[in-house]
Amino acid sequence: MDLLTPHLLSIGPLLTLVAVALLVLLLESIITKSEPVSFWTSVAGLLVSIGIAVPGIAVHGSAFGGMLRTGGSANYFSIIFFICALLTIVFSRDYLKKRDSVFGEFYLLILFATVGMVLMAAAADLIIVFLGIELMSICLYVLAGFIRGSVLSNESSLKYFLLGAFATGFLLYGIALLYGSTGSTSITFLTEHFETYASSRLFLAGIGLLIVGLAFKIGAVPFHMWVPDVYQGAPTPVSGFMATGAKAAAFSIIIGLFAQRFVHGVQIGTLLAILAAASMILGNVVAIAQTNVKRMLAYSSIAHAGYMLTGLAAGNAYGRDGILFYLLAYAFMNLGAFGLISFMEQEGEKHLTFDDYAGLGTTKPFLAVLMSVFMFSLAGIPPFAGFFGKYYIFVGAVQADMTWLAIVGVLMSVVSVFYYLRLVMVMYFQDTLIGQTASYSASSAAFVVLAALILLGLGVFPSSLLAIITTLY
């Protein structure tokens, strides 16, 4: 066996996805009316990639001279990204038909963004981190502006692009300073020698800039300004993809950097705790004032970034496992909610306010029940998976003597119940004002039901997933 083969085999899921993406690219250029072919190729390719990634979870290793981590957490995150991409592609087909923008390039961009995310989760070197982030972001800039005729979509895309590129500048400066102060860009090297360099100002400045860049990507306060505008203006399934996949990808880097050793530096733990508390408070309080459902979910995603940062600030295994559990649960509940909103949305960003959902419980009981499941799960009400994610994270915070942070988190979860359940209340206890139409295909409906069932399953049997998560690092 030659030297290269074991390396290639160990990054099987990534290679499969790249092959599928390139195949779709080829199909797009040689077949006329290629959209259905691209759609089914993408769906099949993602399912195969999930199948290849699952057995690799039990293996731990690294490939290509320590540039990539393989197996374990990298595969776990890959599976989250594949699921996000799969749900987004299925939901977006109905949505794009409504908006007269059914082009196969959409699936292609989702696939390449997913390749970027997988690179981020597998990165063991800051160069790969940079490349992964950029591959993902560049695809997402285009996806946000995919409805070319809509000014809202254009505006969202430009805002995302300018602020995203701005954040990349900080991230890159951080990487440069870390390289300058340690002479290495290897994440393994940096985490192992953190204490040695902790007194160097150049090194700490580099860590600080890196945190700024990543906080932009997860949308944590005070770097959250772009989140509501971009999520509201982008095509609805894309907003869901950004809120789940892109956020999980940025968290995979933060966990790789900080959850191992870095947090032992007390200052960084405190810094993350402050970011977490600010995100939870601002996200939840401002979400109350929203009338647009997409914008409400955007603020709620800021709050969720805060919950997950809480687990990171705790700096123990409980908090870290809590984040991993929560990211998977969050992918299902948030994509499910965005999917349902995309069913309801009508031509020209209409039917997106709370009032448009009035009486949905009687006119469209099927959609209303599913929406209620996702809202209950987002609010963290048992027996849905959202509850256990939050539970593990807050237990981690209490164990790390950050009880104040756990209290802020619990209080803010109570605040969040108000606006999530307001949607449920509007659906069941208000009369319909206008005729509601919802358009969706059978496959989309099946995937939404599946997401809801998985949330219920994870909520009833959380320990089965947690047993896998504890072996990841």
Partner 1 sequence: MIPLEYYLSLSAVLFATGVIGVLTRRNAIIVFMSIELMLNAVNLSLVAFSQYLGSTTGQVLVFFVMAVAAAESAIGLAIIIALFRNKQTLNIDELNLLKW
Sites of contact with partner 1 (CB under 8 A): 127, 130-131, 134, 138, 141-142, 145, 148-152, 154-159, 161-162, 165-166, 168-169, 172-173, 175-177, 179-180, 183-185, 228-229, 232-233, 286, 289-290, 295
Calpha distance 3→49 (Å, rounded): 24
Q: Which of 107, 170 has the CB closer to partner 1?
A: 170
- State both tokens at 151: 């000014």
Cα angle 229, 156, 373 (rounded to 5 degrees) comes to: 55
Residue 384, SS3 per DSSP: coil
Do the beta carbons of residue 107 and residue 39 sit within 8 Å?
Answer: yes
Tokens of 11: 């990054």
Closest CA to 120 of 327, 317, 294: 327
Nearer CB in complex with partner 1: 97/148: 148
Grouping H, G, I as helix, E, B as strand and the rest as coil, residue 3 is coil
Q: Which is nearer to partner 1, 183 or 435 (CB)?
A: 183
Give the shortest CB-299-to-partner 1 separation in angstroms.
Answer: 9
Using DSSP, how many helices (H) and how many strands (E) does the chain show?
22, 2
Which CB atom, from 152 or from 398, has the smaller least distance to partner 1?
152
- Using the minimum distance from each CB to partner 1, give the nearer residue, 259 or 293: 293
Q: Which amino acid is at 169?
A: G
Buried b (16+ CB within 10 A) or exposed e, 358-389: bbbbeebeebbebbbbbbbbbbbbeebbbbbb
User: Shortest gap between Cβ of 162 and partner 1 (angstroms)?
Assistant: 6
Shortest gap between Cβ of 195 and partner 1 (angstroms)?
Answer: 21
Q: How far apart are the first and last CA of the chain?
A: 29
Least distance in Å: CB of 242 to partner 1?
A: 15
CB 376 → partner 1: shortest distance, Å?
25
Q: Which is nearer to partner 1, 184 or 430 (CB)?
A: 184
Kindly state the smallest distance separating residue 285's Cβ from partner 1, in Å: 12
- Which residues is 353 bridged to in the sheet? 292
C-beta closer to partner 1: residue 127 or 411: 127
- Dihedral Cα 103, 106, 107, 109, nearest 10 deg: 140
Nearest distance, CB of residue 136 and partner 1, angstroms = 12
